[in-house]
């Protein structure tokens, strides 16, 4: 494992911890898209189908379990928790995300590294993750003002993908067997979706002001 992948994993973990902190400390999920969280839960469940069949390392197994468990816990809180669910911005979270699921599945069936059960679902998870943030970004744009914890969550989530691009560049030059071109292209698309958010996040940080996105 190289430093860029490790940093990406840790940044991803930080984003989840920030989101859990927001939910459990404030007992609120205001500003958080349930649809994005459900998409991420689907991403991890389909990507890690090999969890109980292929052992790579203790670190790898633990991280997979953390990502699956945390995504399901967040969805449970937003849907079931008697206090948290009342703060959910249902009227703003109206992105038709089933189009993202259907499009990702069709693309995975057509474009994959190997036509097999696990490989198709791996490709599906990669394509879906690339666009899973869209409901969240649309919700934030509609709400305008973004609280600090939500802003930090989205920033760290985007930074994780940016660091993974550096990981792929590093592996391209150091690992002759590296051929994850699907992940590379999807990662570039995903990071590009964060570009606008990164800009306004930087402006708010530089001016020490509240993060605001244009409607």
Q: What is the pLDDT of residues 51-106, one digit of tens each?
A: 888 888 899 999 999 999 999 999 999 999 999 999 998 999 999 999 999 999 99
Element (H, E) at 211: strand 211-212
Calculate the CA 34 to chain-centre distance.
12
pLDDT at res. 107: 94
Which string of DSSP letters, residue by residue, matches 57-111? Answer: -HHHHHHHHHHHHHHHHHHHHHHT-TTGGGG--TTT----THHHHHHHHHHHHHS
Encoded tokens for 52: 């109980």
Q: What integer pLDDT is reported at residue 115 of this predicted model?
A: 82
31: left (phi over 0), alpha (psi -120 to 50) or beta: left
Q: What is the pLDDT of residues 7-18, one digit of tens each?
A: 999 999 999 999
pLDDT tens digit sequence for 163-211: 988 888 888 788 777 777 888 888 888 888 888 888 888 888 888 777 7
Q: What residue spans define the domains of the chain?
A: 3-207
Task: Write out pLDDT tens, residues 127-174.
Answer: 999 999 999 999 998 887 788 888 899 999 999 988 988 888 888 788
């Amino acid at each position: 494992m190289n430093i860029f992948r490790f940093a990406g994993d840790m940044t991803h973990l930080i984003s989840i911890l920030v989101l859990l902190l927001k939910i459990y400390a404030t007992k609120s999920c205001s500003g958080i898209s349930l649809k994005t969280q459900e998409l991420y839960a689907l991403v991890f469940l389909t990507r890690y189908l090999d969890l109980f069949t292929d052992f790579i390392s203790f670190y790898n197994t633990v991280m997979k379990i953390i990502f699956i468990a945390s995504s399901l816990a967040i969805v449970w809180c937003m849907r079931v928790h008697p206090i948290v669910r009342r703060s959910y911005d249902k009227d703003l979270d109206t992105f038709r995300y089933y189009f993202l699921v259907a499009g990702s599945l069709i693309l995975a069936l057509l474009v994959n590294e190997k036509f097999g059960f696990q490989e198709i679902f791996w490709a599906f998870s990669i394509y879906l993750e690339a666009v899973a943030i869209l409901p969240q970004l649309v919700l934030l744009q509609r709400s305008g003002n973004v609280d600090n914890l939500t802003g930090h969550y989205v920033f760290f989530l985007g930074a994780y993908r940016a660091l993974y691009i550096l990981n792929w560049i590093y592996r391209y030059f150091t690992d002759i067997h590296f051929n994850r071109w699907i992940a590379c292209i999807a990662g570039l698309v995903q990071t590009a979706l964060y570009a606008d958010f990164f800009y306004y996040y930087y402006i708010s940080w530089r001016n020490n002001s509240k993060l605001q996105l244009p409607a």
